[in-house]
Amino acid sequence: MKSDKHQRSKGSAVQPYAQTTAESCLAVAALQLVHLRKGLRITRKLELECLLSGLSATRDDWVIGHLRFLGKRFNVRWNRMVEIPTYAKWLKRFDGKAVRTIAAPINSSTITKHLAGGPIAVLLDDYPLFKIVHYPHWVVVLEHRGKKFKIFEPWEGKVRWISAALLDRGIQLLRRHLRWSPQAIQLVNFK
C-alpha cells in the first residue's frame, strides 16, 4: 500500500502543520482528519498531491477530488454534509464508494452532535478568524466544551479555541456574504 511510509500509530494528537499554498486548506484539513484516525504523517508532498488530485478530478467540484484521492490512497470513507438541499442533490452524482453526500444543516449545534463520531472539517468564511478579507476556508473542529470549540486551523497550522458564536458567524458569512453553501466532511465507516 502506498500509504505505508506515511503511517504512524493510530490515535495521534493533532500534527502541527501549516498549509503551504493559498488554496490547500481543504487538503490539510482532510489530511489532518486522516492523521487523527490513522496516524498519517502530513507532508508537503502529500498536501500537494491531494490538492492537485482535488483540482484535476473534475471541474464541477473540487472537494470530491480531494475526498476520492484520500479514500483510495488511505482506504477511508467520508460523509459530506451540504446545507443547501438542491446543491447536495446535485453533488450526489459524484458520490462513490469513498464519499456519501447528504443534505444537513451546518451550525455549532449540529457540529456538536456530529463530534460524537469524531472530528469534523467545516467550510466557513475566514473573516471572523483573521479580520482581513472574506474568503472560504476549511478548519477542523476537534471538540467542544460549553460554548467553545477547539479547532485546528490550517493557515497557521495550530490548534486554538473559538466561541460557538464565532464559528456560527463564519458559517453564516459563508452563506450570506460569499454566497457559498456551508459544508462539512467527516471520516466514517459506512457500507
* Cα 49 to the center of its chain, rounded Å: 16
pLDDT at 62 over 60: yes
- Give the pLDDT confidence score for residue 5 in this predicted structure: 41
pLDDT of amino acid 157:
97
CATH number of the domain at 23-188, out of 3.30.420.40, 3.40.50.720, 2.30.30.90, 3.90.70.10?
3.90.70.10
104/114 Cα distance (integer angstroms): 11
**What would the pLDDT profile of 74-130 be if each residue is shown by its tens digit?**
999 999 999 999 999 999 999 999 999 999 999 999 999 999 999 999 999 999 999
Sign of CA dihedral 27, 36, 139, 19: negative
Per-residue model confidence as pLDDT tens digits over 1-45: 334 344 444 445 999 999 999 999 999 999 999 999 999 999 999
Position with higher pLDDT, 64 vs 12: 64
Grid cell 486554538 is found at 160
Q: Which residues contact 112 (CB under 8 A, 6 or more apart)?
A: 144
Sign of the dihedral defined by the CA atoms of residues 176, 21, 167, 68, in that order: positive
**CA gap 35, 12 in Å, rounded:** 7
Total-model pTM: 0.92
pLDDT of residue 12: 55
